[in-house]
Structure 1
Amino acid sequence: MIEFSIKKELLGVNGVLNLDVSMKLENGEFLALSGDSGSGKTTILRCLAGLEKSKAYIKVDNEIYQDDKVFLPPQKRSIGFVFQDYALFENLSVERNLLFANQDKFLCDKILSLLDLTKLKNRKPHTLSGGQKQRVALGRAVMRMPKILLLDEPLSALDVNLRSKLQDEILKIHKEFNITTILISHDSDEIYKLANRMAILEGGKFTNIGTPKQILLKTKGSQKFAFYGRVLEIQRIDCVFLVTISIAQQLTQVVVCDLEDIKVGDNVMISTKAFNLNLSKI
């Protein structure tokens, strides 16, 4: 069981933000955190890892990581952290990067095999692709056999196909070692594929907690589907509008009769109701 309550004052672009969140996770759960930039997602991970101080209560199984009297430093917390920028040791081989976290050679070989890195184990990070580096970073974090694995948008810089492949690797690691995992992601496909639980963070507070299906699946009214995107272009053709929209790193075009007050740059929801396509501003 992992239990945490974190309070911290943050200074963002819109002024002071009071982060105030609490959560209980069963061992082996996969939690996805989502929300606007600056809402406090990364701060939560850094506080859990002991990289930032806050007013917090953090308990993992029967061990207190932080309360009013205790503050365990990062190296004494059973936590693995995977950053966006890999943070690998450039002078060490792939294998030595993993063994730096834990000298267990058997475990190292197992993780190298799981992540399809065995043939690359003697290579230095600067000779690897972005996806390969991210697999090494993931493997090194798992080498500590942590009770919690923290993933701060580790796949955001990768292309769609590579991202999908690494999602499979993360899921494989999660199931193999049953590590409680917390992922920050803005990708609904990624969240639905990986997580069994999801929390939306807005203004420093959890505003919605549930399964990805409960939160992401839109079933209001008689809608058959609903997607969110951003309007890139609007063209008028006779009495209808051809609207180009970016959805999850892909472009689509829809034809609608009425745009109301929608303009280029607006975030919109595309949905169907009674067999008609609707475009509404959000």
Structure 2
Amino acid sequence: MIKIDINKELHGSNGVMNLDVNLQIKSGDFIALAGVSGSGKTTLLRILAGLEEAQGNITIDDETWLKDNYTLPVQKRKIGFVFQDYALFPNMTVLDNLLYVQKDRDLAQHLLEMTDLAELSRRYPHSLSGGQKQRVSLCRALMNRPKLLLMDEPLSALDPSMRTKLQSEILNLHKEFKTTTIMVSHDPSEIYRLSNRVIMLNQGEVIKDGHAKDVLLKTQGSAKFSFEGELLDIKKMDVIHVAIVAIGQQIVEVIISSNEAQTLQIGQSVTVSTKAFAPMITQNKD
């Protein structure tokens, strides 16, 4: 069991805010931290890792990491941290990057085999793709069998197909090692696929806490589908108006009324929803 009750003053995009978080996390949980940029997600990870100071208490099982004026040093916290930028040692091979953490060749080999990296163990980071580097980073983070694995948008720089592949590998590693995991992500599909609990922050406070479906689902009333996007353009075609909206990596066209065309503004965040139609799902061909 992880108990977190911390407080820290932050300077966010909207000025001074207070990161005030009180949570209990079960051992073995996979937690996704969601919320807009600047809401305190990465700072919370860094506080848990001991990389930033805060007021309050943090206990993991029966071990105190933060209390009053006492802070457990970073090197004594049994954590693994996976960053966006891989943070690999460029002068070390893939295998040596893992063995630097723990001189356990059997564990290193097992991790490399699980992530399809065994044949690359003698390669150096500069010769690896982004996906391969991130897999090495993930393996290295698990080398000391951490009580807590922290990941800060680890897959954000990868293409969609590689993200999907690594999501599966992350889930497999999480299940095998039974490590409590906390991951920052802005990707709803990633959050839904990996986590069993989502904690959403806004201006330093927890505003939602629950399963991904309950936290992320944004349909209202009788709406069947609801997506948030950015209004890119409004075009008049004959007697109708068409709104061009960016939703994730997709661009969609939506017919709108003349009144909506006059009130909506380019660049606005909008919600595209529908109440009654029969959706069809077909398999995409590669």
- The normalised TM-score by structure 2 is 0.93
Cα distance in structure 2, aligned partners of 1:71 and 1:226: 45
Amino acid at match of 1:157: A
Q: How far 1:274 sits from its partner (Å)?
A: 4.0
Equivalent residue letter for 1:65: W
Give the CA RMSD over aligned residues.
1.4
Paired position in structure 1 for 2:107: 107
Other-structure match for 2:43: 43
Q: Is the 8 A contact 1:187 1:248 kept in 2?
A: no
The match for 2:148 is 148
Displacement of 1:263 in angstroms is 1.9
Write the mapping of 1:97-136 to structure 2, written as runs, cut at 5 A.
97-136=97-136
Which digits, 9 at most, give the CA deviation of each residue in 1:152-192, with x for residues without a partner? 01111111111111111111111111111111111111100
- Secondary structure at the counterpart of residue 101 of structure 1: coil
Stretches of structure 1 that go unaligned for 5 or more consecutive residues are 277-282
Counterparts of 2:56 and 2:245, CA distance in 1: 42
| 1:176 is the counterpart of 2:166 | no
Determine the C-alpha separation between the residues in 2 that align with 1:224 and 1:83.
37
- Whether 1:190 and 2:190 are equivalent positions in the alignment is yes
1:280 is aligned to none
**What SS class does the counterpart of residue 37 from structure 1 fall into?**
coil
**CA distance in 2 between partners of 1:165 and 1:212 (Å):** 20
In structure 1, what is the equivalent of residue 202 of structure 2?
202
Structure 2 residue 73 is matched with structure 1 residue 73: yes
Native 8 Å contact 1:239 1:257 kept in 2? no
Query: Which moves more between the two structures, 155-164 or 57-66?
Result: 155-164
Deviations 1:30-69 (A, max 9, x none): 1111111111110000000000011021110110011114
Does the CA contact (< 8 Å) of 2:230 and 2:246 recur in 1? yes
4+ runs deviating over 6 angstroms: none
1:55 equivalenced with 2:55 (yes/no): yes
Asked if residue 266 in structure 1 is aligned to residue 268 in structure 2, the reply is yes
Question: Matched residue pairs, number?
Answer: 276
The alpha carbon displacement at 1:255 in A equals 2.3
In 1, Cα distance between equivalents of 2:274 and 2:23: 35
Identify the residue that residue 96 of structure 2 maps to in structure 1. 96
Q: Distance in 1 between matches of 2:38 and 2:217?
A: 25
Counterparts of 1:4 and 1:90, CA distance in 2: 35
Distance apart, 1:252 and its partner CA: 2.1
Q: Distance in 2 between matches of 1:161 and 1:232?
A: 26
Alignment of 1:228-267 (within 5 A): 228-258=228-258, 259=260, 261-267=263-269
- How many angstroms apart in 2 are the aligned matches of 1:118 and 1:43? 34
Normalising by structure 1, we get a TM-score of 0.94
Distance 1:132 1:177 in 2: 20
Q: Deviations over 1:71-109 (max 9, x none)?
A: 111110011100111110000000110111111111111
| 2:219–2:273 Cα contact (<8 Å) kept | no
1:143: Cα distance to partner?
Answer: 0.8
Question: Which residue of 1 is the match for residue 157 of structure 2?
Answer: 157
- Of all paired residues, the percent bearing the same amino acid is 52
Q: Distance in 2 between matches of 1:143 and 1:233?
A: 50
Q: State whether residues 224 and 273 of structure 1, in contact with CA within 8 Å, keep that contact through their aligned partners in structure 2.
A: yes
Quick one: which amino acid aligns to residue 95 of structure 1?
L
The alpha carbon displacement at 1:11 in A equals 1.4
Gaps of 5+ in 2: 279-286
Sort the Cα spacing of 1:13 and 1:224 in 2 relative to 1 into closer, same or farther, 3 A: closer
CA distance in 2, matches of 1:65, 1:234: 54
